[in-house]
Amino acid sequence: MRFKLKNSLIISALLATGVMATTNAQAAGTITFGEDKYISVGFGSIAGYNSTEDAAANGNDRSNDFSMNSARIYISGSMNKYIKGMLNTESSGTGGATEVIDANVQFQLTDDIAIWAGRFLSPSDRANMAGPYYSMGGGYWANVASRYGWNGGTIGRDDGVALVGSAMDGKVGYSFGAFEGDRIFRFSPAAALSETSGNKDKLMYAGRLQVDFWDAEPGYYGTGNYFGAKDILAIGIAGRQKTDGVVKIGAVGDYKAYSVDFLLEKKDVGPGTFSAEAAYYDYDTDDVFLSEQGKAYSAGMGYLFNSKVGWGQFMPFVRYQKFDSDANTTFKASGAVDLAGETKRYEIGTNYIIAPYNALITATYSDTKISGASSANAFNVALQFQF
């Protein structure tokens, strides 16, 4: 039962993560004040129903819960063609508290190079740059494999500065920056063991390089699927490092992580669009937090049917995630529970897409297995809306 409760908390936390991708993915309302001067306001929400095995209060029955998994306000503006900015908030099912997740200014030095400063997503893997609003399925987050997005920063964001650029007609994207990186283990059990004494207050450095072999992908904040709008064949590599970034009583270590991700999306494959994604991750905490150290993998496939049924299109999908941590035992308040350190999640579901990313319904069945604990299956329905 302890595992079920922990899993439910993780699910709530992961649904709070994600990003606002390119601004044209939302309708929003825009007021212009002259050439290259405007303010745009929008909002987004993910409401869900979740039923998890043995997660009811008695520990034996399935839970039945409706929740507002995420509610956001998006504000962006432009002073001129060189200076822009955004302010986004998030209120999630993890307690309903509202947080400022994005507050930054972007200096557009040239058409292809910009400086971002403030709070924003630090360069990372595609799953983190896309988040739940812009992944293959509504309300989805790859928290088992892509751990920094749900666990680090402020919903994956950090305070800092980054160089963001592109080359070769947008087919090569790159970003590199320096950040605070002082909330690396926000929701994991490692957070309960962390304390700041002994921390040398070093900066965290993060970078990403991506190559698009077919159509180019615009923008810094990304997306995990184009729903047939583009032909995509892309490979990205990302990494982050912070000296003395892992601290607990009696131990200080360096934090390092890197990943490789792949996305393929091809239109006109039979009566629809085929997509496939995969990623590999390596996490190193200098042996300080073994529960957050190890290797992870994720993979998924989807197929979007061109024909509409009623208002929208159906897109069935499957996903798999695995995190093989170096931990043999996870400590809890009531004692130690033997866990071999391996977490797996299998998912099968379908999207009903009314308007890509702006209006969709997702139904998913998942089975999560943690070695040393019984598995838990869950059924989830998420309704995503953005304006």
Which pLDDT band holds residue 137 (cuts at 50, 70, 90)?
confident
Residue 43, pLDDT above cutoff 50: yes
Determine the Cα–Cα distance for residues 178 and 203; give it in Å rounded to an integer. Answer: 6
335-338/376-386 β-pairing: unpaired
Residue 138's pLDDT is 67
- Strand locations in the chain, DSSP E? 29-34, 37-52, 65-78, 83-92, 98-108, 113-121, 157-167, 172-179, 204-212, 232-248, 251-269, 272-284, 294-305, 313-325, 329-332, 335-338, 342-355, 359-370, 376-386
Which residue segments constitute the domains of the chain, with CATH numbers given? 2-386 (2.40.160.10)
Whole-number average pLDDT of the chain = 86
Q: How does pLDDT run across 286-344, given as a tens digit for each residue?
A: 999 998 999 999 999 999 999 999 999 999 999 999 999 998 754 444 444 444 589 99
Residue 340's pLDDT is 53
Residue 188's pLDDT is 77
Better-scored residue on pLDDT, 22 or 261: 261
Residue 247's pLDDT is 86
Predicted model pTM: 0.88
Any idea how long the chain is? 387
Determine the Cα–Cα distance for residues 327 and 383; give it in Å rounded to an integer. Answer: 36
Better-scored residue on pLDDT, 364 or 247: 364
Determine the Cα–Cα distance for residues 216 and 219; give it in Å rounded to an integer. Answer: 10
What phi-psi label fits residue 112: left (phi over 0), alpha (psi between -120 and 50 degrees) or beta?
alpha
Percentage with pLDDT > 70 across the chain: 85
Residue 254, pLDDT above cutoff 50: yes
Residue 372's pLDDT is 73
Going from the C-alpha of 307 to that of each of 310, 315, 356, 361, 372, the distances in angstroms are 10, 11, 15, 17, 45
Residue 197, pLDDT above cutoff 70: no
Average pLDDT over residues 178-198: 74
Contact 20, 86 (CB under 8 A): yes
Residue 47, pLDDT above cutoff 70: yes
Residue 386, pLDDT above cutoff 90: yes
Residue 284's pLDDT is 97
Residue 3's pLDDT is 36
Residue 10's pLDDT is 35
Residue 25's pLDDT is 52
Q: How does pLDDT run across 83-101, given as a tens digit for each residue?
A: 999 999 999 755 668 999 9
Residue 4's pLDDT is 38
Structural tokens at position 68: 């507002």
Which pLDDT band holds residue 63 (cuts at 50, 70, 90)?
very high
Percentage with pLDDT > 90 across the chain: 66
DSSP lists the bridge partners of residue 42 as 74
Q: Which helix (H) or strand (E) holds 127?
A: helix 126-130
Residue 94's pLDDT is 52
Residue 1's pLDDT is 36
Residues 6+ apart with CB under 8 A from 96: none
Q: How does pLDDT run across 229-250, given as a tens digit for each residue?
A: 999 999 999 999 999 999 888 8
